[in-house]
Amino acid sequence: MSLRTFVRSRKLTGALAVTSVAALSVAGVVASGATANAAPGCRVTYSITNQWQGGFGANVTVTNLGDAISGGWTLEWDFAAGQTIQSGWNGVFSQSGSRVTVRNPSWSPSLGTGASVTPGFNGSWTGSNPVPTQFRLNGTVCTGDVAPTSTSTSTTTPTTTTTGNPNPGTRVDNPYVGAGVYVNPQWSARAAAEPGGSRIANQPTGVWMDRISAIDGNGSPTTGTMGLANHLDEAVKQLSANPNGQLVFQVVIYNLPGRDCAALASNGELGPNDLPRYKTEYIDKIAGILARPAYSRLRIVAVIEIDSLPNLVTNVSPRATATPNCDTMKANQNYQNGVAYAVSKLGDIANVYNYLDSGHHGWIGWSDPVPEYDNFQASARMMASVIGREGATKDDVHGFITNTANFSVLEEPFWKVDDVVGGRPVKEASKWVDWNDHNGELSFATAFRDELIKNGFNSNIGMLIDTSRNGWGGSARPTAKSTSTDPTTYVNESRIDRRIQKGNWCNQSGAGLGERPKAAPRPNIDAYVWIKPPGESDGSSTQIPNDEGKGFDRMCDPTYTGNPRNGNNLSGALANAPLSGHWFSAQFQELMRNAYPAL
């Protein structure tokens, strides 16, 4: 795995509708400039990611293909139609007339061989918004072919067109940068068949391998269930049609022995001691397919075992939230051994990027010197415990993912956990916060990444955040901070996460689509992703006999009054839900209706 020298861009601000995409691929000559040393070779990608009437957002990725630059870099271009920079990030922007100059930020003066940086900006335009035709790195021109698409101001669903890495099939710093992402044709068809669903039907989602039979499917790419090879064959077709020559394929590895020991809705087919079957019938088979030469040019992101390792911290004895199943899995260590085997086996494939699941802030956000109350540091140690087992190394882990298939918001705009209201800190006075150190996934993912590095993971790991259902828009979304002097009322009136309690996880009423998938939205965040396909149920609201190994969990029953894991609150689940993974039209419609940013 290459060093994470890539500097990630901040989240774009501005209009919500992306209306055009333009990309410029440049492969030319770069000579030494006044600010640093550089041997010939670079590539530049200019991508318009947001465009609206009079304004736009863009990312400019420059990759150094020559000798390492150690003393600072400067990127320059000229706008041809009077465009102006309004704000920028991941670089120090200035503009004189048509000339734009971007100098390295203070924290990133170097640009190693093969490394990339992506300054991003919001700008304004009138009349037209053509792509710049020439870029200069440290004073010397990089030239190439321009391949822009239309820059109209319609409100069509965005796609991102950027150039790929020079060596397809090898790992890059951030697999999402410069790449398209696989659109599951079967999920896309279900979404498009819903009223209004065509607005998001072309968004990329994860492909879930949630049982052994899912690997083969039924052999048909058009009916029933597509198998892993069917999906990968389709991904190769999408790769061939992708103008940037790179495509990410997202697959969820989800079939541990004794899976989901603290929940019943997504229990699996393998018993607590079925580690040998997990290895030979599941992981080995998946690895054999992923390693086929036909798929070597894909960037394969493997999301490893949702909700597994954190269960061994929070839901085991002597805690009040303990379950017998989690105690069993902690004792036999088959979660750690299974995850380690998956990481090791898949990590041996050059174009696979392993991201381990690490819960979410409403589960793991508590840090405390008392072990019984510490979830944060203990979970990082649990993650690190897989290293050295089953041949797994830290280099086999490219990063981690938070909020998979969950509802936790990215950030709360109107309040902080450190606020003091009525003379009392909300951190201790609000039941919603309940001493949690975080109130959103961005702060949690950033802090947890630091903790994981402290526990031995590489300093270049990146984070993914699943934003498929954490938008919380609609009429119930607050628009300002509460004026109440009561801490509980203040938080409840200010928070955009409208769940009854953070421990509620099943088909939540009032939820909405969150941020659309995008690469490098914030520093150290590799991507916002939709790993959980919107519209697929978390579990049935009543017991439904099935042959998929899925039990009935009362947390999916809207009449259930809760348990210690959700503070004995109502579940907040939608009624009439089907089995987990099955299509749930009512939920899909609600997610679109409450989307934020709005559709």
Of 519, 345, 400, 398, which is closest to residue 1 (Cα–Cα)? Answer: 398
Strands 99-103 and 92-96: antiparallel
Q: How far apart (Å, rounded) are the C-alpha atoms in residues 40 and 325?
A: 59
Of 272, 285, 286, 268, which is closest to residue 211 (Cα–Cα)? Answer: 268
Cα distances from 575 to residues 265, 278, 323, 507, in angstroms, run 15, 34, 26, 9
The proportion of the chain whose per-residue pLDDT surpasses 70, expressed as a percent, equals 87
Of 2, 113, 13, 120, which is closest to residue 65 (Cα–Cα)? Answer: 113
Burial class of residue 413 in the structure, from the number of CB atoms within 10 Å of its CB (0-12 exposed, 13-18 middle, 19+ buried): middle
Q: How far apart (Å, rounded) are the C-alpha atoms in residues 420 and 432?
A: 15
Q: How far apart (Å, rounded) are the C-alpha atoms in residues 231 and 239?
A: 12
pLDDT at 133: 77
Q: What angle do CA 37, 43, 47 make, to 5 degrees?
A: 130
pLDDT at 300: 98
Tell me the residue type at 579.
L
Burial class of residue 150 in the structure, from the number of CB atoms within 10 Å of its CB (0-12 exposed, 13-18 middle, 19+ buried): exposed
Burial class of residue 320 in the structure, from the number of CB atoms within 10 Å of its CB (0-12 exposed, 13-18 middle, 19+ buried): exposed
Q: How far apart (Å, rounded) are the C-alpha atoms in residues 90 and 102?
A: 9
pLDDT at 39: 40
What sign results for the dihedral spanned by CA atoms 3, 359, 508, 254?
positive
Counting every residue written for the chain, the total comes to 599
Q: Is 307 a catalytic residue?
A: yes
pLDDT at 12: 28
Over residues 282-287, mean pLDDT = 97
> At 233, which helix (H) or strand (E)?
helix 228-241
* SS3 per residue for 68-84: CECCCCEEEEECCCCCE
Q: How far apart (Å, rounded) are the C-alpha atoms in residues 236 and 440?
A: 36
Of 44, 37, 30, 24, which is closest to residue 118 (Cα–Cα)? Answer: 44
What's the N-to-C CA distance of the chain in angstroms?
Answer: 37
Decide: 557 and 571 in contact? Cβ < 8 Å. Answer: yes
Q: Look at residue 380 and tell me whether its pLDDT is greater than 90.
A: yes
Q: Which domains occur in the chain, in start order?
A: 22-148 (2.60.40.290), 180-537+544-579+586-593 (3.20.20.40)
CB 515: neighbour CB atoms within 10 A?
A: 19
| pLDDT classification of 223: cutoffs 50, 70, 90 | low
Q: Look at residue 156 and tell me whether its pLDDT is greater than 90.
A: no
Rounded to 5 degrees, φ, ψ at 77 are: -155, 170
The proportion of the chain whose per-residue pLDDT surpasses 90, expressed as a percent, equals 65
List Cβ neighbours of 213 (8 Å cut-off, separation of 6 or more): none
Q: Look at residue 246 and tell me whether its pLDDT is greater than 80.
A: yes
Token pair of 368 as six digits: 């405390």
Over residues 293-305, mean pLDDT = 97
Out of 307, 419, 437, 526, pick the active-site residue.
Answer: 307
pLDDT at 264: 80
Decide: 401 and 466 in contact? Cβ < 8 Å. Answer: yes
pLDDT at 273: 97
pLDDT at 27: 35
Over residues 182-202, mean pLDDT = 95
DSSP class of residue 7 equals B
Decide: 307 and 401 in contact? Cβ < 8 Å. Answer: no
Q: Is 538 a catalytic residue?
A: yes
| pLDDT classification of 468: cutoffs 50, 70, 90 | very high
Q: Look at residue 29 and tell me whether its pLDDT is greater than 70.
A: no
| pLDDT classification of 160: cutoffs 50, 70, 90 | very low
Strands 352-357 and 299-304: parallel
> At 303, which helix (H) or strand (E)?
strand 299-304
pLDDT at 25: 36
Q: Is 152 helix (H, G, I), strand (E, B) or coil?
A: coil
Of 27, 86, 33, which is closest to residue 62 (Cα–Cα)? Answer: 27
| pLDDT classification of 219: cutoffs 50, 70, 90 | low
Q: How far apart (Å, rounded) are the C-alpha atoms in residues 488 and 391?
A: 49
Q: How far apart (Å, rounded) are the C-alpha atoms in residues 206 and 300?
A: 11
- Token pair 């319609």 is found at 154
Rounded to 5 degrees, φ, ψ at 462 are: -115, 165
Of 478, 480, 525, which is closest to residue 497 (Cα–Cα)? Answer: 478
| pLDDT classification of 69: cutoffs 50, 70, 90 | confident
Q: Look at residue 323 and tell me whether its pLDDT is greater than 50.
A: yes
CB 152: neighbour CB atoms within 10 A?
A: 11
Q: How far apart (Å, rounded) are the C-alpha atoms in residues 492 and 472?
A: 14
| pLDDT classification of 19: cutoffs 50, 70, 90 | very low
Which residues on adjacent β-strands are paired with residue 120?
59, 89
Q: Is 50 helix (H, G, I), strand (E, B) or coil?
A: strand
State the chain's mean pLDDT as an integer. Answer: 85
Decide: 234 and 227 in contact? Cβ < 8 Å. Answer: no
Out of 173, 466, 526, 538, pick the active-site residue.
Answer: 538
pLDDT at 116: 79
Q: How far apart (Å, rounded) are the C-alpha atoms in residues 254 and 56?
A: 39
Decide: 558 and 565 in contact? Cβ < 8 Å. Answer: no
